[in-house]
A and B are shown apart, each in its own frame.
Chain A
Amino acid sequence: MFLSPEPLSLVRLCELTEAAPGPVQRALGELAARHDASSGLELAEIAGGWVLRTQADLGPVCDRLRARPPEERLSPAALETLAVIAYLEPISRPEIARVRGVSAEATVASLLERGMIEEAGRAQEGGAMRYRTTPAFQERFGLKGPGDLPPITHFELSGAEAEAVHQRLRDAGHLSDEVA
Chain B
Amino acid sequence: MSGTVRVADPLRLPLELDLFEGPLDLLLTLVLREEIELAELPLRDLVAATLDGDEAWDSPTTGELVLLLCSLAELKARRLVGEDDDEDFAPDPDAELVRERLAAQLIAFAPFQRAGVWLRTQDGVEGAVRYRRVPLEAGDPSLTRHAPAELADALARLMVAPPTPSLGHMNRQRVNVGEIVAELRGALRRSGQVSFDEMTNGTDRLAQGMTLIACLELARRGEAQLAQPIPFGDITVRRPSQGRAGA
On A, residues with C-beta under 8 Å from B are 1-5, 46, 51-56, 58-60, 62-63, 68, 72-74, 76, 79-84, 86-87, 99-101, 139-143, 149-150, 152-153, 155-157, 161-162, 165-166, 169, 173-176, 179-180
Q: What are 25 pairs between A and B in contact, CB < 8 Å?
A: A4-B132, A4-B136, A54-B131, A60-B127, A63-B126, A63-B127, A74-B119, A76-B120, A79-B117, A79-B119, A82-B119, A83-B118, A86-B119, A139-B128, A140-B123, A141-B128, A152-B112, A155-B110, A155-B114, A157-B110, A169-B99, A169-B103, A173-B83, A174-B102, A180-B100
Given A72-B125, A82-B119: A165 touches B130 (CB 8 Å cut-off): no
Cα–Cα distance between A74 and B128 once the two chains are bound (Å): 14
Cα–Cα distance between A83 and B112 once the two chains are bound (Å): 6
Chain A residues with CB below 8 A from B96, complex form: 175-176, 179
Chain A residues with CB below 8 A from B91, complex form: 176
Q: Is B44 an interface residue (CB 8 A)?
A: no
Complex contact A165–B115 (CB within 8 A): no
Residue in B96, B107, B125 whose Cβ sees the most chain A Cβ within 10 Å: B125
Residue in B82, B102, B128, B129 whose Cβ sees the most chain A Cβ within 10 Å: B129
Complex contact A140–B124 (CB within 8 A): yes
Complex contact B103–A165 (CB within 8 A): yes
On B, residues with C-beta under 8 Å from A are 81-83, 91, 96, 99-100, 102-103, 105-120, 122-136
Per a CB cutoff under 8 Å, which of B105, B110, B114, B130 touches A59? B130
Chain B residues with CB below 8 A from A100, complex form: 109, 112
Complex contact B83–A99 (CB within 8 A): no
Complex contact B123–A99 (CB within 8 A): no
Closest to A60 in B: B127
Chain B residues with CB below 8 A from A169, complex form: 99, 103, 106
Complex contact A53–B111 (CB within 8 A): no
Cα–Cα distance between A85 and B86 once the two chains are bound (Å): 45
